[in-house]
Structure 1
Amino acid sequence: MTTATGPNILDPALIADPYGGYGALREEAPVLRGQAPDGSPAWYVTRQDEVRAVLSDPRFVNDPDSVPGETTDVRRRLMASIGLSDELTGYITDSILDRDGAEHTRLRKLVSRAFTVRRVAELRPRVEAIAADLLDRLPERADLMAGYAYPLPITVICELVGVGEGDRHRWREWATQLFSMDRKNFPTAIRDMVAHCKDLIAARRADPRDDLLTGLIQAREDDGDQLSETEMVTMVLTLVLAGHETTAHLVGNGVQALLTHPDQLRLLRERPELWPGAVHELMRWTGPVLVTRIRYAREDVELGGARIAAGDAVQTILVSANRDPRAYDDPDRFDVTRRPAGRGEGHVGFGHGAHYCLGAALARQEGEIALRALFDRFPDLALDSAEPEWEPMPSMRRLARLPVRH
């Protein structure tokens, strides 16, 4: 294996303080040499303009197999290191998130109708009802992650996809095992999830319903080469995991931010019309996703003063781009009245370009509803722990627990 020097994404100091650590790297250079999670070399892209450039440039691809010549597949190597078989690895590394060009477009079209602005707006009453029910049952002292931040988005995405109520707790358990990256739990979780998805598909073939899973099955049967069995399993797995994990931590991180910035919470109570913009500011300032998936240069590319060679791995750092002083005034300040200077969202918390988060509209709506309902219901909500319990993860900003009282 080629040795690598420079910053390491697994460095405990970067994990403990991603804002300060990656911020220092950003001010050192827009593009610099570092290490991927498997220890191999990777370019770190740290500033807003350069991150957007990579995420929107078709010369940078997610699938290393589409790069001419021999390329190190960082994710497959990482999966092998924790004991995952080649067969199961494919369910992790060959999803819609790993496809490029026409293949990505084909898969995205099959599910995009479920996430349009209109369809998401139609879900609002149901999301509000789920939030209200969870708040009705929230004890006076509670772990908000377990009692609210997780159950809300997992209920929404499971209803949308077609996962039964009795199976939803299993997805939370599997997600916990996956993110632990433990040699014992990780392969078992993937194996169980794949088997569960196959069972869901078989059940929905026998009993079609008005859900996304039935739609995927019908799309395959209408045009046999539209979606393979493996692609269908992978799609369900990806949608359910991605559809609740990041939203849960948007809510958790958002509560932590607002309770430690009472002036901003007061503004939202006085001016509730600020809530939609506040969710964007939370995604910028304390978004759960710190870095994107590894991308690979299909050809030699000049970027930010660096020459990235064909086949090189590239890691875009969202957390540093979202606090880039070249893009934001006083970027380290949390400000719910902040609005983008130009068009669009003004941040890259949901990514950018062709792989922009498919469920962004749903995540924003769930975040807004969850946070507003919580603070409206419990005006005296307070943290019940002196220090936040951040999970030591290199790619996400996640609270292990969020003890509160109301």
Structure 2
Amino acid sequence: MVPEISLTDPEVLTDPFTAYGRAREQSPLARVGAPGFGPVWAATRHETARAVLSDPRFELTANSYQRPDVPEHCRAYMRTMSEVEGAEHARLRRLVSPAFSARRALDFRPRVEPLVGRLLDDLPAEADLLRDFARPLPMDVICELVDIPGEDRPRWREYGIAVASGHGPAFAAAIPGIMAGAQAAIARRRDEPGDDVLADLIRAEDRLSDTEMVTLVWHLVLAGQTPANLIANAVATLLEHPDQLAALRADPGLMPRAVDELIRWCGPTLMTIPRYAREDVELEGVLIREGEAIVAAVAAANRDPRAFEFPDRFDVTRPGGGHLGFGHGPHFCLGAALARVQTEVALTALLAREFEPVKVERMPDPGTWRLSSLVVRFG
């Protein structure tokens, strides 16, 4: 029997890992729904989720650029790679992947470190790490990545806050500013060679169009919300596991493994965006009919005992790899290497300072594991 999960269930909102884990042990597929959403199929086991994310019979639909709150003249830039399939996606991916490789992310690390240092130095003795550190950092990194002028960066932080809200007047007002800033940055890079993502793409033999490059900047702004939630979740998790926090402080060389484990354990993605069956598909003995939606339940798959030894143990020494925190298949997160480096730098610098929790509050959200505040006091 296929288990059913209600996204309004208090347990799902407060402890999705247990709720999804219970469904996973009953069946590799579940039905997930809430008023106004679903029900949709959910792949709960690691192997099944990987299969869904790499199966071309399940496709995404492109619709964010059709939102009524997006100004008409900006819609040409809204259809990101996460909404493109097939040959078009493969072409875009081939062109931009070198600029986001693991080597490029490591090369970029010295430019992330001072951004982190300045944010930490500006914190008061008692600070909300989510509001004052984790949220502004990704937008600062994006500005550095595409060479937004220093005088414009405070405004881009505001854009980041508006985009994170996902709707409303501030969201709609931020979009033209982001697009105009991206256009100006691209024009500068065409006139003045530099060392950033836009310069890499302009120098490439097969070039993206200006529209595609503006779209990429928009994609970065959208994706930049993931490191913010990941960093906050990571700090909260380490505070909840003082033995692991002590081990990491004693041996900072564990940080790459620790970040991978944190993504597995408390990554913000609880489920992927829906994919839709292009035809009738039999999966795990169940018929998914053409047009029906399916998600990968990352919260369940990342703690699947079939894929991870002692999956319910948080262990900063665990060898990395295997988790689905950045997805899998053709749409594996383009900025995964940069997000890892950004999180490593942020946590390394933060853990070099002594602090204690004052208030940790979580935002009930069935799709994203995230905090609403993380107040600490520095000693």
TM-score norm. by structure 2 comes to 0.88
Residues 332-377 of structure 1: per-residue CA shift (max 9 Å, x gap): 221112225xxxx12111111111111212211221221122112x
How far, CA to CA, are the matches of 2:364 and 2:149 in structure 1? Answer: 32
- In structure 1, which of residues 379, 387, 396 is the aligned counterpart of residue 368 of structure 2? 396
Contiguous gaps of at least 5 residues in structure 1:
65-72
- In structure 1, which of residues 50, 55, 58 is the aligned counterpart of residue 56 of structure 2? 58
Say if 2:60 and 2:276, in contact at 8 Å, map to a contact too. Answer: yes
1:361 equivalent to 2:337? Answer yes
Tell me the residue number matched to 2:281: 301
Tell me the residue number matched to 1:125: 110
1:169-248 matches, within 5 Å, as 169-205=154-190, 207-217=192-202, 227-242=208-223, 244-248=224-228
1:111 equivalent to 2:96? Answer yes
- In structure 2, which of residues 114, 117, 124 is the aligned counterpart of residue 139 of structure 1? 124
Gap change, CA 1:180 and 1:9, over 3 Å in 2 = farther
What RMSD in Å do the two structures reach over aligned CA positions? 2.8
1:73-84 matches, within 5 Å, as 79=67, 83-84=69-70
Tell me the residue number matched to 1:70: none
Give how far 1:285 is off: 0.5
Tell me the residue number matched to 2:85: 100
* Residue type at the aligned position of 1:143: D
How far, CA to CA, are the matches of 2:143 and 2:35 in structure 1? Answer: 31
Say if 1:146 and 1:401, in contact at 8 Å, map to a contact too. Answer: yes
How far, CA to CA, are the matches of 1:90 and 1:392 in structure 2? Answer: 33
How far, CA to CA, are the matches of 1:10 and 1:190 in structure 2? Answer: 31
Give how far 1:296 is off: 1.7
- In structure 1, which of residues 278, 300, 314 is the aligned counterpart of residue 258 of structure 2? 278
Give how far 1:289 is off: 1.6
How far, CA to CA, are the matches of 1:282 and 1:43 in structure 2? Answer: 26
* Residue type at the aligned position of 2:139: I
How far, CA to CA, are the matches of 2:199 and 2:343 in structure 1? Answer: 27
Contiguous gaps of at least 5 residues in structure 2:
none
Gap change, CA 1:332 and 1:89, over 3 Å in 2 = farther
The size of the alignment, in residue pairs, is 376
Residues 264-310 of structure 1: per-residue CA shift (max 9 Å, x gap): 11111233332211111100110112221221222222112221122
* Residue type at the aligned position of 1:170: R
TM-score norm. by structure 1 comes to 0.82
* Residue type at the aligned position of 2:212: E
Gap change, CA 1:84 and 1:148, over 3 Å in 2 = closer
Say if 2:146 and 2:185, in contact at 8 Å, map to a contact too. Answer: no
How far, CA to CA, are the matches of 2:306 and 2:48 in structure 1? Answer: 11
Residues 98-124 of structure 1: per-residue CA shift (max 9 Å, x gap): 112221121122221222222222222
1:32 equivalent to 2:33? Answer no
